[in-house]
Chain A
Amino acid sequence: MTMKVLVPVKRVVDYNVKVRVAADGSGVETQGVKMSMNPFDEIAVEEAVRLREKGAAKEVVAVTIGAQAAQDVLRTAMAMGADRAILVRTDDALEPRAVANVLKAIATREEAGLICMGKQAIDDDMNATGQILAAKLGWPQGTFASAVTVADGRVEVAREIDGGTEVVSLTLPAVVTADLRLNEPRYASLPNIMKARKKPLETIEIDSLGVDTASRLTVVSVAEPSERKEGVKVNSAAELVEKLKTEAKVI
């Protein structure tokens, strides 16, 4: 198998951080906050590496879009097993449509046979980039994947849907977006972290790709959601049922 798997990864506020809305309502505080690879992208990296280990793919290429600091998630991807990485350098925050335009250019240049990426980033929670990218490339999509099998020029994807699981079979090349249950990503071992430092990391200036990266959305404001008030403790199930009937009138 000579297939190359492209894995787009995003550097986001670590999932353990309780984010704070900036005082001026322009966004959330990211200064001095721990940043990590988007958890769904870790699952995508793991899946791509497993495909190569099984012999279904030849090479795994990680790509991210961002400032110089975004290199750290590429190093993490390579420590997990990606063979090389590409940083598309920009200081702007890009919307999914713009990200898809950039990734389309990279996928075309790399002649990727499969794009494996997280179903959503945990910062903007858009859950859109994979689908937009698939549309722009004219490739089929297997979103919210819980199992991926590559065989005979096709990829079979089990997908999480509202009532259970659906299986689709796609021609390659295709876009697959990873859901939580697809796999458990490995931890990068220290030797692999050291090895990853020597793997090739190419930097491309975003302007050199000549793609449309304009924003279509203007952020008017970002606000804290309204807090719920803490209620009361009751002493028994009987008292609870009584209150639900007479006070909350919900049963």
Chain B
Amino acid sequence: MTALVLVEVENGAVRQASRSAVAAASRFGAVDAIVFGDGAQAAAALPGVTRVLSVPGLVNDLAEPAADLLAARAKDYSHIVAAASATGKNILPRLAGLLDVQPIPDVVEIKDADTFVRPIYAGNALATVRSADSIKVLTIRGSNFDPVAAEGGSAAIETIEAPTSEKSVFVKVELSASDRPELESARVVISGGKGMKDAANFKLLEPIADKLNAAIGASRAAVDSGFAPNEMQVGQTGKIVAPELYIAVGLSGAIQHLAGMKDSRVIVAINADPEAPIFKVADYGIVGDLFEVLPELEKAL
């Protein structure tokens, strides 16, 4: 059996979630990687990858040509795998549609080549499902699989032509500029909730994030209130994170938020309400006014 992994490369480096997808796919046998745009070299350096299909002409991850290309190559593979990222979730189900198979999204555990565990109901239940399809199309929750190293491999690179797409045209992309680590790969994440009261107060998280080299996240309530942009959202409807340390500030701990961070190794909660559900999952809690606690925390670090 050979698996094909859609590997995402950003600024010359393979995204951590893709390295986790390679680690997961290695369970099935040999691993080929496919890279859209530049970045084949970075994918070729991943340990465990035997061959890289490089598609430099496909630069914007448009789902239509990407899925067409993957479908044309699919018969050589038992499993086609991607990270459960915005890109993976856009392209892989479309591929599954072309192949007429049922995709299996957000896999958190691999039981065997046909059997997978995935969360349902915002992580309130875990379903174990067995697939009868001859080609399995999976997306992988990065936080549940230790990523392979970024270097150590030396795969062969084969360059292939990009198909064209007339039905779908890329217009533009607007990325939020940040020097901080990515939410999904940061060792420490500090998130603010509705208790932050307004967007300006999110700045209070920054000096602490600087000291801990942390990514900054937000609850859906904070995003809905306009305190923080959506790409900072942690939860079932945002990013799923599992850092070494997660600090939840002024954040009640709604089910949908817990679904996005409860696999963190150590959870800290700072909240004025001692009954807030976030304390039920926190290893360490401080009941108090976050506007007093945050400056103290900054000083203590």
Across the A-B interface, the 3 shortest Cβ-Cβ residue pairs: A135-B97, A132-B97, A131-B93
Q: Are B129 and A19 in contact (CB under 8 A)?
A: no
Q: Which residues of A contact B236 (CB under 8 A)?
A: 122, 125
From 2 to 29 in chain A, residues with beta carbon under 8 angstroms from any chain B beta carbon are 13, 18-19, 21, 28
Does A151 belong to the interface (CB within 8 Å)?
Answer: no
Q: Which residues of A contact B67 (CB under 8 A)?
A: 135
Name, among B89, B167, B224, B301, the residue most crowded by chain A CB atoms within 10 Å (CB to CB): B167
Does B133 belong to the interface (CB within 8 Å)?
Answer: yes
Distance, CA A161 to CA B62, complexed state (A) = 12
Does B95 belong to the interface (CB within 8 Å)?
Answer: yes
Q: Are A217 and B97 in contact (CB under 8 A)?
A: no
> From residue B197, how far is it (CB to closest CB) to chain A in Å?
19
Task: Name the contact of A220 in the complex, choosing from B129, B231, B245 (C-beta under 8 A).
Answer: B129
With A217-B104, A232-B284 in contact, do A225 and B94 touch (Cβ < 8 Å)? no
> From residue A147, how far is it (CB to closest CB) to chain B in Å?
12
From 256 to 301 in chain B, residues with beta carbon under 8 angstroms from any chain A beta carbon are 262, 265-268, 279-287, 293, 296-297, 299-301
With A168-B168, A169-B171, A236-B296 in contact, do A136 and B279 touch (Cβ < 8 Å)? no
Q: Which residues of B contact A174 (CB under 8 A)?
A: 167
Distance, CA A233 to CA B280, complexed state (A) = 11
Distance, CA A132 to CA B100, complexed state (A) = 8
Q: Are A165 and B167 in contact (CB under 8 A)?
A: no
Q: Are B97 and A160 in contact (CB under 8 A)?
A: no
Instruction: Give the total of B residues in contact with A, Cβ under 8 Å.
Output: 88
Does B1 belong to the interface (CB within 8 Å)?
Answer: no
- Can you sample 11 A-B contacts with CB below 8 Å? A132-B94, A133-B97, A134-B94, A162-B86, A168-B62, A168-B170, A181-B230, A222-B120, A231-B284, A232-B285, A240-B284
Does A194 belong to the interface (CB within 8 Å)?
Answer: no
Instruction: Give the total of A residues in contact with B, Cβ under 8 Å.
Output: 75
Task: Name the contact of B297 in the complex, choosing from A141, A143, A237 (C-beta under 8 A).
Answer: A237
Q: Which residues of B contact A144 (CB under 8 A)?
A: 86, 89-90
Task: Name the contact of B102 in the complex, choosing from A95, A170, A228, A234 (C-beta under 8 A).
Answer: A95
Q: Are B102 and A97 in contact (CB under 8 A)?
A: yes
Task: Name the contact of B64 in the complex, choosing from A141, A167, A219 (C-beta under 8 A).
Answer: A141
With A164-B173, A171-B167 in contact, do A230 and B279 touch (Cβ < 8 Å)? yes
With A125-B120, A171-B166, A236-B296 in contact, do A166 and B282 touch (Cβ < 8 Å)? no
Does A123 belong to the interface (CB within 8 Å)?
Answer: yes
Q: Are A131 and B63 in contact (CB under 8 A)?
A: yes
> From residue A98, how far is it (CB to closest CB) to chain B in Å?
8
Distance, CA A240 to CA B280, complexed state (A) = 17
Q: What is the interface of chain A, defined by CB distance below 8 A to chain B?
A: 13, 18-19, 21, 28, 95-97, 100, 122-136, 139-141, 143-144, 146, 156, 159-171, 174, 180-181, 215-225, 228, 230-238, 240-241, 243-244, 248, 250-251
Q: Are A135 and B169 in contact (CB under 8 A)?
A: no
Given A125-B120, A217-B130, 12 new contacts (CB under 8 A): A131-B96, A135-B95, A163-B175, A215-B102, A220-B115, A223-B125, A225-B125, A240-B284, A240-B297, A241-B300, A244-B245, A248-B283
> From residue A164, how far is it (CB to closest CB) to chain B in Å?
4
Task: Name the contact of B122 in the complex, choosing from A96, A122, A236 (C-beta under 8 A).
Answer: A122
Q: Which residues of B contact A161 (CB under 8 A)?
A: 86-87, 173, 231
- When C-beta atoms are compared, the residue in chain B nearest to A184 turns out to be B224
Does B32 belong to the interface (CB within 8 Å)?
Answer: no
Q: Are A224 and B296 in contact (CB under 8 A)?
A: no
Does B250 belong to the interface (CB within 8 Å)?
Answer: no
With A216-B131, A250-B244 in contact, do A241 and B102 touch (Cβ < 8 Å)? no
Distance, CA A127 to CA B168, complexed state (A) = 20
Q: Which residues of A contact B60 (CB under 8 A)?
A: 166
Q: Which residues of B contact A126 (CB under 8 A)?
A: 93, 103, 105
Distance, CA A19 to CA B123, complexed state (A) = 10
Q: Which residues of A contact B267 (CB under 8 A)?
A: 228, 231
Q: Are B103 and A135 in contact (CB under 8 A)?
A: no
Name, among A13, A131, A140, A235, the residue most crowded by chain B CB atoms within 10 Å (CB to CB): A131
> From residue B74, how far is it (CB to closest CB) to chain A in Å?
13
Q: Are A234 and B285 in contact (CB under 8 A)?
A: yes
Does B160 belong to the interface (CB within 8 Å)?
Answer: no
With A228-B267, A234-B286, A237-B293 in contact, do A128 and B105 touch (Cβ < 8 Å)? yes
